[in-house]
């Protein structure tokens, strides 16, 4: 008999606890309703891409020596380098250069290995078109620079989470001049004592 | 308790003054409340869908529909329009008759149940003597439609969803009916108007929720399970069953399911408001307020105010419950089918039986408080 009563008591206790936990959960969801939306209202607000953002690739025609390293390091040999040998100067003359961004995976290998730094990553990510062939950028299209989010008067630029001051989670209405947590790269460089390049010298000698 | 506004009586009398026979006057009156009820139910669904989207968005720190009309109020209308113009696909290997009949059988009983929802002393389509019983009877027709559509789709997921829906509805009908039975025992009537009348007179203190707290919880849990709302939405679980019995449906047939589930939610909320939260009663008894202000209860202005306040109160209570249902949706995870049946048969059923017994005992011991 006592055993049975104990079972009933435990059961009631468990039911009470379940109700308590559901109540706690409800209070959490209710609390969230008062908070400001965390979503970025895209066409009107845009996040500022980080400095390492791998967007559409920029290409400088005049710097290119048509070495085709970009083609070799590309996982799918994507860049099309059209050159012809100029027998007078005994140099390759670049005629056309194109990358199809419908196929590119933005791995950045070509940018990494380009010997003359004529390839670079931009922060442009709005590449949608109605026809996929429009994504095949030739050297003129590749040479265009994207419009910066911070310069667009139609757009409210928002900082990404890592670029907000310490303890701040909301990118809206930041005080002017608010800095991200931690030191900026140039501050780190200034803080570290200037090193003598002993390792390099020893390697060279 | 005054009778309040009697629209039907006044309408028929005025038609008879114009020289129409009584039968014709009644026939002209009859379609009006029905039409009003269908329009009301549909508008209620639109409001609920909008609330669902907005409250869900707020609970997840989003904004939700914003540009379709002011604050996105036209979003559900746009949804409906899209579904109307969508192609109506009937799968080749399905049974076309049962496939078409399924959603119809799901929706019609829900609309019919609105007959017994009172918004005031006479603001009810038909004051059936066994109103709540009619609702319980009609709501048990729905699982037949669900099972029918799941079976006729000729699809594993649909069949599984249909079977789950039937199992769920059948097992939660019993605690629901037992909770209603306790109310009916206290009110000595199954009519919704009588049940509200029995709660009136003492304002918020007279509401059944104080006398039936366990019954209220059981009823609300069972009602959520009947509507297939989120803690119990496993017959139409998107992730597991690809929306269950709705998998093969598109266009207007899907819209019927969608409409049916939301009307059912509003209906359940309205019934909880009527059975437990005093229906159209204001938290402070209005007759007492009239007494303080020296207004006669038969004053026409007072009656109009009472009637509109009654409708507002009923809707407010119902939409508060809809709000809690939406909040619960984002709080509680979905249960498994075995947990669902466990909860229904091993928890709610014994508790509702104990509740019924307790109510009977209290009714005999304290007839003054528990409706002798």
Q: What is the pLDDT of residues A113-171, one digit of tens each?
A: 999 999 999 988 888 999 999 999 999 999 998 888 888 888 888 888 888 888 888 88
Rounded to whole angstroms, how far apart are CA atoms B161 and B177? 24
Residue-range definition of the domain harbouring residue B101: 32-369
Is the interface score ipTM higher than 0.90? no
Instruction: Provide, as residue numbers in chain A, all residues whose Cβ is less than 8 Å from the Cβ of B61.
Output: 32, 35-39
Question: Average pLDDT for residues B12-34, to the nearest whole number?
Answer: 80
- For chain A, the average pLDDT equals 86
Question: Average pLDDT for residues B347-352, to the nearest whole number?
Answer: 89
> CATH number, domain at A91?
3.30.70.3270
Given the structure tokens 């304002």, which residue do they identify?
B203
A118 marked ligand binding residue: no
Q: Give the closest-approach CA distance of A173 to chain B in angstroms.
A: 17
Question: Average pLDDT for residues B338-347, to the nearest whole number?
Answer: 86
Q: Is residue B230 a contact partner of residue B334, using CB atoms and an 8 Å limit? A: yes
What is the three-class DSSP state of B110?
helix
- The answer to whether position B355 is within a domain reads yes
Residue A74, pLDDT score: 92
| Of residues A15, A29, A36, nearest to B327 (C-beta) | A29
Does B4 score more than 70 pLDDT?
A: no
Cα–Cα distances in angstroms (integers) from residue A77 to residues A83, A93, B2, B105, in the given order: 16, 20, 87, 60
Residue-range definition of the domain harbouring residue A54: 50-149
Does A203 score more than 60 pLDDT?
A: no
- The answer to whether position B240 is within a domain reads yes
- Nearest CA to B369 out of B204, B132, B199, B192 is that of B199
- The answer to whether position A68 is within a domain reads yes
- pLDDT, tens digit (0-9, with 9 covering 90-100), for B149-164: 888 888 888 888 888 8
Question: Average pLDDT for residues A23-27, to the nearest whole number?
Answer: 91
Q: Which long-range contacts does A42-45 make (Cβ < 8 Å, 24+ apart)?
A: A43/A155, A44/A154, A44/A155, A44/A156, A45/A155, A45/A156, A45/A157, A45/A158
Instruction: State the alpha helices, DSSP H only, in chain B.
Output: 7-17, 22-29, 31-59, 75-85, 96-113, 131-139, 142-152, 156-187, 192-199, 208-211, 213-227, 238-241, 251-276, 286-292, 300-329, 337-342, 349-365
Q: What is the pTM of this model?
A: 0.79
- The answer to whether position B8 is within a domain reads no
**Whether B330 contacts chain A with CB within 8 A:** yes
The residue in chain A having the minimum alpha-carbon distance to the alpha carbon of residue B60 is A32
**Whether A36 contacts chain B with CB within 8 A:** yes
Cβ–Cβ below 8 Å for B55 and A41: no
**Whether A166 contacts chain B with CB within 8 A:** no
pLDDT tier, A195 (very low <50, low <70, confident <90, very high otherwise): low
Query: A39-48, A57-66, A171-180, B258-267: which range is least confident on average?
Result: A171-180
Cβ–Cβ below 8 Å for B59 and A33: yes
- The answer to whether position B19 is within a domain reads no
Instruction: Provide, as residue numbers in chain A, all residues whose Cβ is less than 8 Å from the Cβ of B60.
Output: 32
- The answer to whether position A57 is within a domain reads yes
Which pair of tokens denotes residue B301? 């202005």
Rounded to whole angstroms, how far apart are CA atoms B322 and B324? 5
| Of residues B57, B60, B327, nearest to A30 (C-beta) | B327
Cβ–Cβ below 8 Å for A32 and B331: no
Question: Average pLDDT for residues B72-80, to the nearest whole number?
Answer: 88
Which pair of tokens denotes residue B272? 């909880």
- The answer to whether position B227 is within a domain reads yes
- pLDDT, tens digit (0-9, with 9 covering 90-100), for B172-224: 888 999 999 988 888 888 888 888 888 877 777 778 888 888 889 999 999 99
| Of residues A29, A36, A39, nearest to B59 (C-beta) | A29
Residue B372, pLDDT score: 54
- The answer to whether position A97 is within a domain reads yes
- The answer to whether position B18 is within a domain reads no
Rounded to whole angstroms, how far apart are CA atoms A64 and A97? 9
- pLDDT, tens digit (0-9, with 9 covering 90-100), for A94-114: 999 999 999 999 999 999 999
Residue B2, pLDDT score: 45
Q: Looking at per-residue confidence, does A14 or B297 come out higher?
A: A14
A70 marked ligand binding residue: yes
Does A90 score more than 50 pLDDT?
A: yes
What is the three-class DSSP state of B17?
helix
- The answer to whether position B5 is within a domain reads no
Cβ–Cβ below 8 Å for A33 and B330: no
| Of residues B61, B330, B331, nearest to A35 (C-beta) | B61
Q: Cα A18 to the chain's mean position, in Å? A: 44
How many domains does chain A fold into? Answer: 1
**Whether A30 contacts chain B with CB within 8 A:** yes
Cβ–Cβ below 8 Å for B331 and A38: no
Does A198 score more than 70 pLDDT?
A: no
| Of residues B58, B324, B328, nearest to A33 (C-beta) | B58
Q: Give the closest-approach CA distance of A58 to chain B in angstroms.
A: 35
Rounded to whole angstroms, how far apart are CA atoms A138 and A136? 7
How many domains does chain B fold into? Answer: 1
């Amino acid at each position: 008999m006592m055993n049975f009563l104990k079972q009933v008591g435990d059961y009631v206790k468990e039911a009470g606890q379940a109700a308590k936990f559901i109540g706690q959960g409800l209070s959490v969801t209710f609390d969230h309703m008062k908070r400001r939306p965390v979503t970025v209202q895209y066409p009107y607000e845009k996040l500022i891409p980080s400095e390492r953002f791998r967007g559409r690739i920029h290409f400088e025609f005049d710097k290119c020596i048509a070495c085709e390293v970009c083609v070799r390091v590309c996982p799918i040999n994507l860049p099309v380098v059209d050159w012809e040998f100029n027998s007078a100067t005994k140099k390759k003359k670049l005629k056309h250069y194109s990358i199809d961004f419908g196929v590119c995976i933005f791995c950045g290998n070509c940018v990494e290995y380009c010997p003359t730094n004529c390839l670079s990553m931009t922060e442009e990510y709005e590449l949608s078109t109605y026809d996929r062939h429009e994504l095949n950028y030739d050297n003129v299209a590749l040479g265009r620079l994207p419009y910066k989010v911070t310069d667009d008067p139609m757009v409210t630029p928002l900082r990404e989470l890592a670029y907000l001051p310490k303890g701040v989670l909301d990118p809206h209405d930041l005080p002017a001049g608010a800095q991200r947590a931690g030191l900026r790269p140039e501050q780190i460089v200034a803080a570290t004592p200037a090193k003598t390049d002993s390792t390099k010298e020893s390697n060279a000698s | 308790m005054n009778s309040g506004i009697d629209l039907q009586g006044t309408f028929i009398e005025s038609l008879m003054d114009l020289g129409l026979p009584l039968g014709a006057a009644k026939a002209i009156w009859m379609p009006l409340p029905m039409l009003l009820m269908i329009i009301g139910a549909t508008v209620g669904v639109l409001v609920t869908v909008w609330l669902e989207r907005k409250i869900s968005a707020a609970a997840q720190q989003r904004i939700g529909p914003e540009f379709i009309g002011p604050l996105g109020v036209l979003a559900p209308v746009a949804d409906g329009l899209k579904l109307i113009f969508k192609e109506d696909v009937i799968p080749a290997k399905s049974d076309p008759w049962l496939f078409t009949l399924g959603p119809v059988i799901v929706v019609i009983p829900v609309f019919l149940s609105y007959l017994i929802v009172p918004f005031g002393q006479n603001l009810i389509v038909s004051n059936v003597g066994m109103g709540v019983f009619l609702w319980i009877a009609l709501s048990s027709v729905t699982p037949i439609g669900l099972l029918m559509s799941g079976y006729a789709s000729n699809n594993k997921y649909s069949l599984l969803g249909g079977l789950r829906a039937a199992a769920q509805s059948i097992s939660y009908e019993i605690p629901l009916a037992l909770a209603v039975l306790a109310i009916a025992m206290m009110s000595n009537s199954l009519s919704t108007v009588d049940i509200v009348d029995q709660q009136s007179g003492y304002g918020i203190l007279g509401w059944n929720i104080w006398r039936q707290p366990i019954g209220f919880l059981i009823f609300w849990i069972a009602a959520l399970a009947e509507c297939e709302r989120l803690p119990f939405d496993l017959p139409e679980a998107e992730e597991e069953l690809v929306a269950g019995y709705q998998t093969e449906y598109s266009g207007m047939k899907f819209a019927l399911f969608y409409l049916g589930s939301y009307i059912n939610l509003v209906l359940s909320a309205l019934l909880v408001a009527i059975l437990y939260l005093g229906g159209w009663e204001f938290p402070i008894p209005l007759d007492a307020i009239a007494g303080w202000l020296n207004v006669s209860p038969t004053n026409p202005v007072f009656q109009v105010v009472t009637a509109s306040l009654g409708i507002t109160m009923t809707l407010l209570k119902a939409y508060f419950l809809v709000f809690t249902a939406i909040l619960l949706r984002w709080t509680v995870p979905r249960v498994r089918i075995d947990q669902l049946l466990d909860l229904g048969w091993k928890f709610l059923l014994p508790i509702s039986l104990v509740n019924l017994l307790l109510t009977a005992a209290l009714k005999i011991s304290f007839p003054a408080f528990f409706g002798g």
